[in-house]
Amino acid sequence: MVRLLKSTLLLMLWPVLATAQSSVKMEVSQDAGNEAYTIWSPGETVKVKVWLSEKGRPMYSMDYKNRAVIKPSGLGLQLARDKHASKGFRETDLIEGFATEGYKTSSEDDTWQPVWGETANIRNHYNELAVNLLQRDTKRHITLRFRVYDEGMGLRYEFPQQDSLNYFLIKEERTQFAMAGDHTAWWIPGDYDTEEYPTVTSRLSEIRGLMDKSIVWGNASQTPFSPTGVQTSLQMKSADGLYINLHEAACVNYATMHLNLDDKNLVFESWLTPDATGLKGCMQTPCNTPWRTVLVSDDAREMLSSNLILNLNEPCALDDTSWIHPTKYCGVWWEMIVGKSTWHYTDQFPSVQLDNIDWKAVKPNTTHGANNEKVRRYIDFAAKNGLDQVLVEGWNVGWEDWACMWKWDVFDFVTPYPDFDLEALNEYAHSKGVKLMMHHETSSSTINYERHLEEAYALMNKYGYDAVKTGYVGDIIPRGDYHYSQSMNNHYLYCVKEAAKHHVMVNAHEASRPTGLCRTYPNLVGNESARGTEYEAFQGSNPDHTVILPFTRLQGGPMDYTPGIFETQLSTWSDNKHFVHTTLCGQLALYVTMYSPLQMAADLPENYERFDDALQFIRDVAVDWSDSRYLEAEPGDYITAARKAKGTDNWFVGGKCDENGHLAVVKLDFLDKGRKYECALYADADDAHFADNPKAYKITKKTVKKGDVVRVKEAPGGGFAMSLIAK
Amino acid sequence: MVRLLKSTLLLMLWPVLATAQSSVKMEVSQDAGNEAYTIWSPGETVKVKVWLSEKGRPMYSMDYKNRAVIKPSGLGLQLARDKHASKGFRETDLIEGFATEGYKTSSEDDTWQPVWGETANIRNHYNELAVNLLQRDTKRHITLRFRVYDEGMGLRYEFPQQDSLNYFLIKEERTQFAMAGDHTAWWIPGDYDTEEYPTVTSRLSEIRGLMDKSIVWGNASQTPFSPTGVQTSLQMKSADGLYINLHEAACVNYATMHLNLDDKNLVFESWLTPDATGLKGCMQTPCNTPWRTVLVSDDAREMLSSNLILNLNEPCALDDTSWIHPTKYCGVWWEMIVGKSTWHYTDQFPSVQLDNIDWKAVKPNTTHGANNEKVRRYIDFAAKNGLDQVLVEGWNVGWEDWACMWKWDVFDFVTPYPDFDLEALNEYAHSKGVKLMMHHETSSSTINYERHLEEAYALMNKYGYDAVKTGYVGDIIPRGDYHYSQSMNNHYLYCVKEAAKHHVMVNAHEASRPTGLCRTYPNLVGNESARGTEYEAFQGSNPDHTVILPFTRLQGGPMDYTPGIFETQLSTWSDNKHFVHTTLCGQLALYVTMYSPLQMAADLPENYERFDDALQFIRDVAVDWSDSRYLEAEPGDYITAARKAKGTDNWFVGGKCDENGHLAVVKLDFLDKGRKYECALYADADDAHFADNPKAYKITKKTVKKGDVVRVKEAPGGGFAMSLIAK
């Protein structure tokens, strides 16, 4: 097999590779009058078989080291009849009646460099099988494409342009994932409008019984849909120790996929997010679905180190990425989340209409957070502690009645409240080497946002903002649409592309869970799309929450989790009775265990100042990496990760555990041989505990070298952080 | 009563007027424990009474010269419960349980000058009654406002800002119009997506029986909804000779209203256009509904001369209107409608995706209409015949599969086909004193259009276009929405406002039927919103069609009807077997009888050249007027109108009739006394007939003076035109 390291070279040689089928291990057999195909991954750990059922339905199965991962499972799409059917729509399902009409194998072994990421180089190494199918009665051709990696596979449907399949409407995608056992799963309820649920750990067969109480109400928009519907990425573990993850890659111009479980047979099936009419996709050939991905390993750490989903995305679409940079930031945010200050400026009106208010004349409410004095305080804090940017939420008019009112024109994204001097604050920040970070809460009124987008980005360019946090709280306008529909996915990507034209980085909250699109559009530097730190101030999160997220939510891309809450007891400075379900050191660990090019120091400056020795780790820790190693991992239990700061020889290690605590064994194998490192260890005190004694920590320093082993006791809900500065 | 001629003066004196209730004839009585109010129009022809029913439902009735026009009718709105009800929505209907809590009367007599119109000055003369109501149980206040004119009235609901009524959702508006008899009505079927039906003439009681066959299929999007649902403006005539018209004025941020008939009791009720979820309005106080209008007269001509609907709209919102001008134009259009040439450029692909096509490399289909050679031909024709602009449809890429495919990105509105040299053609046109008219077919993919709007207008500005014809063919995207919903009405107005920023005039086809908004936004120079001339090439239109439209569709604003088809037999130059159901002179008449500041000479240059003597009228006729007189009128039978060209002393007269012919008696009373006029009369020949002999006409010239009477015989489906040039 030819191995190539540069994609440019690969492209030149592609025709050669594509016909060099002998380099790919595969097998063609006969099955009920049709050919059946079996293909192995490069290292032959994963085997995928593809065939047709007696009724001509495409089927597939997948093994890992000769153990079944996906049992025989059906493929296909159910189509919808449209009132314009006579004009070219075909409503016959693309499920049965197929015959094979050839196949093609190929392989790729390429290494590419992400603009930012966990490692400087990412290897993309797979064998590919494309099976061409003809639906005889309708004369329609489709292609099933499988990419088989040593740690999993991706499959997608491709629809070539053809007279007999020009436009079609998707009633439902019918991709099955038949499980080989009643696995343990880390799942959240399927929902068209929110991903911000606590994760439930249960057997697959227990999902139905646990669904009702798993749907925790309290989000501004929630649309659960099935008693056995769950979201991806779904992490599972088999009784015999296989780690299996189902998700998708490169969801473009398509609805986000959920999984619905047939819990009699333990078969998951795709369940797409509908539009306002209940339909799930409008397609025009040539086109394809996103990749449906299955990750598998007998080592949980490989679930975290896999780049399969990024690899299944298209290469970077931006010519110039020099303006994109990882960012450490703080912001006027946590104090509003906790309830101490407000986004809105006045309590004078029952509701506001932007066109009818003279903001300078209204009566301020005295609780408005985003005021000049406070923002200056945060800028000073950022400058002093080496943070790049300061996010300010609530800077712009419209927060008085912003969500869930079916208001179209909620925000204009350019008009500051009277006590926020946009120009002066930016100047002040820049004079201190800090940037302000823009905030665009859309309140899910997407048409309004798109109407203001150009002006909003132009304002950012004018004042030197280069990153925006966007938000989609509340029900989608246009009414009837859902957060994760095809049209909304188009909206999110449209904003990312328009932002790129303005050299603006995007961190979209409440948008669809990511599927690796940050490879193609690396200005998509973050998403929320899961239960973030804010829920510690609302309902609390379980101590195991952050040792699940890297296995699930983070598979598709980085999360703006906003860690770093040092004062875990919110009542010490506010009326909020909740507490953060980690220790202080557990918070520090997240800067390493929860990979993101965007890391917030989310607590208030005054809280950090009380723990300045611990703050040192946040000052030190990198946000971009040339290498990453997962040293220990078990979903829901613990994660220990080591990362090398890009452009340096320094390493940072983080360890996080659940409510049971963990003894981390950190083998410093990854350090350069013969070199000494100054090690600073931020560890839970012996008697630390996330609930009773969260702020008990000890900082120790010593010199270490390759091969040393550091044992660190993590408290219940705790963790540790370690910096290793090369001497 | 104080009479004021200038609105500025009026505004200054408003507080005085508002309290000068003695100047308005009105009466307060007691009715079931509440006050009842009766108010008369300034000339006391119209009387409106308002009271509360026993259940506290607001009621009204209306008389004209002591004859019942609207019998006691209920008012109110049915509200919807929303899933966010707990956050401020109130779902109790705003129908019953009201008590009066005061009233206010006022009057206005103002004259204003439209930017363009049928007359240079428009008098706005009404008495007003505002009744304040309290719904006791909910503590909600609303105001019913009535403006009573000598030829009708408008009523609307007003919702002041208040804690107890902040946001609400409309399930249905319940405004009734109880008819006093089984009137003859000129109606088209109610439909959420098209207004392009032939008009049916029947008694009200016959509507149900005629509905099925009145729903003529063939439009790209049609959504009829009720066996007795009809559209407004609805023209009626009572057995005793009263002309009554129901419509609406100033429909802003609200769904377009239909009327549903309770045909047992002959009561119409409002039936709004829903959104994708079935709801009909999202409201935030302070706000109001559009005006619901009733026009009434015993003289049909007053139906046509009334400015009640314009008067109920807000004054002009644009500071500078100098760039807005009435326009006479021709265009590359009719030959595509007839089927002789095509909008699209290639037949090479089953479908196109704009991003994936190198247009210069594709194979042309040889039928593409908007090519350089042809457009030059039209420019030459326009220049030679004094036409201001040349519309070119099909100039931009995307027409290969543009409608009804649920494609989002159908057009980009800026990329010309390879055979349309945008820059050179504009230069050529300008060198001849002609402008090109832009065309933006959106295929109803409104989000796509809004995304390209700024760039599209910028292109127009760059090349000197100042007018755009827009189109909304096919089903609305976002899916599930309808053409006449609140959100779509917002979209249309958004485009008009954005266009104004670019000094662009808008002529929107397939948009909601107008409600007089051209007063407020006079760059909205035209709409289609009815069955236009194009249907003569599709299914044919009835000969009475154009003597109904001025009573119905034109009440809300001008229509781009695209008259002037000289070669009424389409088969003489194409494969189209249809013919135009008027005579050639009937086509000429429309330039006067169908008022519009935008008039097309819609036929092909080569057809006009065969009738150059008749073309002289199109060359001569004005498109803006200082005065207009309706000399004769009967809905569905005939209309004779005389108009004085603005800035001149010349008059133009047009007469149009139905299939029965008409003898027009044109009394030249409107001419200046003592002055002579050169009269050119374009009349049907004695044996002319719209079907058999449509192009038989005679042109006679003579000198006339005030007081002369000209008798003109109009053939079946015919008409006449007359120019009166002051000597």
Residue type, B485: S
The C-alpha atoms of residue B654 and residue B645 are separated, in whole angstroms, by 13
Q: Taking CB atoms and an 8 Å cut-off, how many pairs form between chains A and B? A: 114
- A7 — pLDDT class (breaks 50, 70, 90): very low
**End-to-end C-alpha distance for chain B, whole angstroms:** 42
Q: Best interface-test mutation with A: which of B406, B409, B455 has the largest number of A CBs within 10 A?
A: B406
The C-alpha atoms of residue A550 and residue A637 are separated, in whole angstroms, by 12
B404, B450, B481: residue with CB nearest A84: B404
The alpha carbon of residue B276 is apart from the nearest alpha carbon of chain A, in Å, by 6
- B33 — pLDDT class (breaks 50, 70, 90): confident
CA proximity to A144, closest of A155, A136, A160: A155
pLDDT, position A515: 98
Does the predicted model carry a pTM greater than 0.90? yes
The alpha carbon of residue B250 is apart from the nearest alpha carbon of chain A, in Å, by 19
Q: Any idea which residue has 């602009």 for tokens?
A: B389
pLDDT > 70: what percent of chain A?
A: 96
Contact B405 A87 (CB under 8 A): yes
Predicted ipTM?
0.94
Instruction: Please determine, for residue A14, whether its predicted confidence score (pLDDT) is greater than 50.
Output: no
- B427 — pLDDT class (breaks 50, 70, 90): very high
- Burial annotation B421-456 (CB, 10 A radius, 16+ → b, else e): bbeebbebbeeeebbbbbbbbbbbbbbbbbbbbbeb
Asked if A404 reaches chain B (Cβ–Cβ under 8 Å), the answer is yes
pLDDT, position A1: 32
- Interval B572-577 mean pLDDT: 97
Q: Which of A80-84, A548-552, B682-686 has the lowest mean pLDDT?
A: A80-84
The alpha carbon of residue A410 is apart from the nearest alpha carbon of chain B, in Å, by 11
- Interval A57-66 mean pLDDT: 98
pLDDT, position A81: 81
- Interval B522-551 mean pLDDT: 98
| Structure-block tokens of residue A673 | 């041989």
pLDDT > 90: what percent of chain A?
A: 93
- Interval B158-168 mean pLDDT: 94
Contact B351 A479 (CB under 8 A): no
Instruction: Report H helices in A39-166.
Output: none
Contact A480 B350 (CB under 8 A): no
Instruction: Please determine, for residue A435, whether its predicted confidence score (pLDDT) is greater than 60.
Output: yes
Who has greater pLDDT, B7 or A284?
A284
pLDDT, position A218: 87
Asked if B406 reaches chain A (Cβ–Cβ under 8 Å), the answer is yes
pLDDT, position A314: 98
pLDDT, position A5: 33
Q: In A, which residues are within 8 Å of B353 by CB distance?
A: 284, 286
Instruction: Please determine, for residue A87, whether its predicted confidence score (pLDDT) is greater than 80.
Output: no
CB-CB neighbours of B524 under 10 Å: 26
- Interval B311-318 mean pLDDT: 98
B506: Cβ contacts below 8 Å, ≥ 6 apart: B467, B468, B470, B495, B496, B499, B523, B524, B525, B526
Residue A607 DSSP SS3: helix
Residue type, B726: A
pLDDT, position B76: 98
- B403 — pLDDT class (breaks 50, 70, 90): confident
Instruction: Please determine, for residue B49, whether its predicted confidence score (pLDDT) is greater than 60.
Output: yes
| Structure-block tokens of residue A220 | 């501004």
Which among B108, B173, B196, B534 is annotated as catalytic? B534
Contact A479 B282 (CB under 8 A): yes
The residues of A annotated as belonging to the active site are 534
Q: Report residue B176 CA to chain centroid gap.
A: 23
Instruction: Please determine, for residue A172, whether its predicted confidence score (pLDDT) is greater than 70.
Output: yes
A709: Cβ contacts below 8 Å, ≥ 6 apart: A665, A666, A667, A668
A522: Cβ contacts below 8 Å, ≥ 6 apart: A114, A115, A116, A316, A318, A321, A324
Contact B282 A406 (CB under 8 A): yes
- Interval B677-684 mean pLDDT: 98
Instruction: Please determine, for residue A20, whether its predicted confidence score (pLDDT) is greater than 70.
Output: no
Contact A454 B454 (CB under 8 A): yes
pLDDT, position B32: 76
Instruction: Report H helices in B467-583.
Output: 486-501
Q: Any idea which residue has 């194979």 for tokens?
A: B363
- B713 — pLDDT class (breaks 50, 70, 90): very high
Residue A397 DSSP SS3: coil
- Interval B337-356 mean pLDDT: 95
- Interval A688-702 mean pLDDT: 98
pLDDT, position B1: 32
- A18 — pLDDT class (breaks 50, 70, 90): very low
- Interval A653-670 mean pLDDT: 98
Instruction: Please determine, for residue B431, whether its predicted confidence score (pLDDT) is greater than 60.
Output: yes
Residue B571 DSSP SS3: helix
Average pLDDT along chain A = 95
Contact B487 A494 (CB under 8 A): no
- Burial annotation A580-591 (CB, 10 A radius, 16+ → b, else e): bbbbbbbbbbbb
Q: In B, which residues are within 8 Å of A285 by CB distance?
A: 350-351
- A4 — pLDDT class (breaks 50, 70, 90): very low
pLDDT, position A84: 58
- Cross-sheet strand order for the sheet of A697-705: A625-634, A638-645, A651-657, A719-726, A676-684, A697-705
Quick one: closest CA in B to A405, which residue? B167
- Interval B20-45 mean pLDDT: 86
- Interval B517-535 mean pLDDT: 98
Q: What are residue A711's phi and psi, to 5 degrees?
A: -100, 125
Instruction: Please determine, for residue A356, whether its predicted confidence score (pLDDT) is greater than 70.
Output: yes
- A374 — pLDDT class (breaks 50, 70, 90): very high
- Interval B555-565 mean pLDDT: 98
Asked if B408 reaches chain A (Cβ–Cβ under 8 Å), the answer is yes
